[in-house]
Amino acid sequence: MCYFQAYCCVHQDCPYVGQFCPAVMGIVPGNIIAKHIYTNKKLVKSRKKFELHATLAIIAWLGVMVFPLFWIAKLGITYSVGYVACHVVYYVVFGLTICPVCAIRNTCPGGKLQAYVLGKKRDS
């Protein structure tokens, strides 16, 4: 997930590459990986490659969320529902607090989703 996010960080000219990033969930190392992979290299930006990497990062994130459910379900349905609810609450709180002030909210899929859900027009 972080590897795919790294390309997205660089593609979007994210100011957080190589430093603290208020990223959602486990993609925080993506900005550090981006610095190590793409620093001192001439990056040819591709919209198609960006969309592929963003899609693969989202699929990986969903995998991180869904993968443990088999074992959590063995503990009981309450634990499974609680686990998924924690993910949902985290994403909603993050989307309402971090996404509106993020430097790349206009190009990030999460920022776009947050603006769409709240019915806000994106800044130019």
pLDDT at residue 116 is higher than 80: yes
Helix (H, G, I), strand (E, B) or coil at 64: helix
**pLDDT tens figures, 17-51:** 888 877 765 667 888 888 888 877 778 889 899 88
Q: How many percent of the chain have pLDDT more than 70? A: 93
pLDDT at residue 120 is higher than 70: yes
Find which of 29-38, 69-78, 90-99, 115-124 is predicted with most confidence, using mean pLDDT.
Answer: 69-78
pLDDT at residue 121 is higher than 80: no
Provide the 8-state DSSP code for 21.
-
* Alpha carbon 115 to chain centroid, angstroms: 15
pLDDT of amino acid 25: 59
pLDDT of amino acid 22: 75
DSSP output for 65-77: HHTTHHHHHHH-H
Amino acid identity for residue 56 in this structure: L
State the average pLDDT over residues 82-88: 91
pLDDT of amino acid 48: 94
